[in-house]
Structure 1
Amino acid sequence: MEFTGFPVAALDFYDDLEVDNSKSFWEAHRHVYEESVKAPMVALCAALAPEFGEAKIFRPYRDVRFAKDKTPYKTHQGAFVGVGPSMGLYVELSPRGVRVGGGFYHAETPRMAAIRDAMAHDRTGPTLRRHLTVLEKAGFEIGGERLKTTPRGYVADHPRIELLRHKQLIANRSYGFEKVIHTPAVQTLVRDDWRALRPLLAWLQRAVAGVPEDPTRQ
């Protein structure tokens, strides 16, 4: 299937799902999800795969085993290309439109320590800051969960203390409801954004190189 953009029906589907997140609604509108949400996302990822690698298309079902919110279905469709443990490139369709991002969303203690060491180092830390500045100037927002306090082992007046507080580091750009998301041209936007995110991901990969992955984490 050739990617032609995300149809308006996909956004309408998620608008309605936010109002009625029930099995009865899902079953009655499953065909809309399959045709207007999943199929275009699969086509987009297939078109990008030769350059970036195969993407994981996330399931539409929520894991509610330990959640207070028991609504059964996700109100967005995401796809992720991993480049390392819990880090990679992301694209999402939701009622708020299309969002593109990349970075790391989780790091076990040894990897988090390695990332912070690289952030703090006077050679590698400024390099990361430059990568993030370039992304910000290009229109990305830098986010991710952060500590409210100073991480253990560092001083509060460290010149990169705001970076050191990050438990996640994610650069995002939203295209919202722009008309382009309904056209094949959004594929070029995602490709260009993922290319722009490569220096950040390469920095993160170097920071955790040689740190073993936690075998208990799936």
Structure 2
Amino acid sequence: MIQQFSGWPDQALDILLRLDGEPSSALREELRKDRERLVRKPMIDLLNDVADADPAYADFSVWSYAKHTWWWQHQTATIRLARKVEIGLRFDLDGLHVKGAWHYPDPGQIELYRAAVAGKGSGLALAQAIDTLRHKGYEISGDVMKVTPPGYSPDHERAGLLRHRSVVASRALDRDDWLATAKALDWVLDTAADLNPMLSWFAEHVTAAEDP
């Protein structure tokens, strides 16, 4: 396959800078075509190249526009790996942000998650995957309860993970010299490889058998 992505040109940041703050509807419409060409299309090219590199990442969406100005100021995309398990991307004036997440869980997924975290082998595997990401500089976050959920001891060795109702690992690329070149594709592929152990764990343990 011929690589499509060659980076975001400097003009992409110029467009986003003009959209900063509270741009009028007239200005948004004036910039729509340029934003599509300079900001959104590179994200589409990037995700097509990621999918070409690994078909596991072929189910993606690159979001378009909405009435709220935030969607004009931030170009987002999602790669779906399993039910509620995904890689999210966001390009804006701060750079390129990538996160791997299990979030907004379906009913029943939290119970599956807790049982797998409490399991000796499965829980240790997730803890190690997250620790590896943290040591590589990823920010680990999520919806976290203040107390250990009922039925699990506060002294459990993975009590911290048991309190999670979602898990997100994220990092950002803010190097302008990379964003304007195809090197950003390699960075995204490396990030996806880093996230794979954690996201594969969620796809295996938290996705119910009846989920499509």
1:35 alignment counterpart = 37
- So what's the TM-score if we normalise by structure 2? 0.88
2:17 alignment counterpart = 15
Deviation, structure 1 residue 43: 0.7
Contact 1:46 1:54 in 2 (8 A): no
Distance 1:169 1:96, change over 3 A: same
1:124 alignment counterpart = 122
1:61 alignment counterpart = 66
Contact 2:83 2:207 in 1 (8 A): no
Deviation, structure 1 residue 15: 3.2
Contact 1:147 1:166 in 2 (8 A): yes
Among 89, 93, 96, the residue aligned to 1:95: 93
> Match of 1:80, SS?
strand
Contact 1:11 1:97 in 2 (8 A): no
Distance 1:153 1:178, change over 3 A: farther
- Measured in 1, the distance between the counterparts of 2:207 and 2:166 equals 17
Deviation, structure 1 residue 17: 2.2
Structure 2, unpaired ranges of 5+: none
Deviation, structure 1 residue 73: 4.4
Q: What RMSD over aligned residues (CA atoms) do the two structures have, in Å? A: 2.0
1:86 alignment counterpart = 84
1:48 alignment counterpart = 50
Deviation, structure 1 residue 87: 0.9
Deviation, structure 1 residue 95: 2.0
1:159 alignment counterpart = 157
Deviation, structure 1 residue 157: 2.4
- So what's the TM-score if we normalise by structure 1? 0.86
Contact 2:59 2:81 in 1 (8 A): no
Contact 1:110 1:211 in 2 (8 A): no
- Measured in 1, the distance between the counterparts of 2:65 and 2:100 equals 21
Deviation, structure 1 residue 209: 4.2
Deviation, structure 1 residue 92: 1.4
> Match of 1:166, SS?
coil
- Measured in 1, the distance between the counterparts of 2:23 and 2:102 equals 29
1:174 is aligned to 2:172: yes
- Measured in 2, the distance between the counterparts of 1:19 and 1:209 equals 40
**Percent identity among equivalent residues?**
27
Letter in 1 for 2:140: I
Distance 1:94 1:145, change over 3 A: farther
- Measured in 2, the distance between the counterparts of 1:48 and 1:42 equals 10
- Measured in 2, the distance between the counterparts of 1:180 and 1:128 equals 31
- Measured in 1, the distance between the counterparts of 2:7 and 2:77 equals 15
1:148 alignment counterpart = 146
> Match of 1:127, SS?
helix
Deviation, structure 1 residue 103: 2.1
- Measured in 1, the distance between the counterparts of 2:132 and 2:28 equals 42
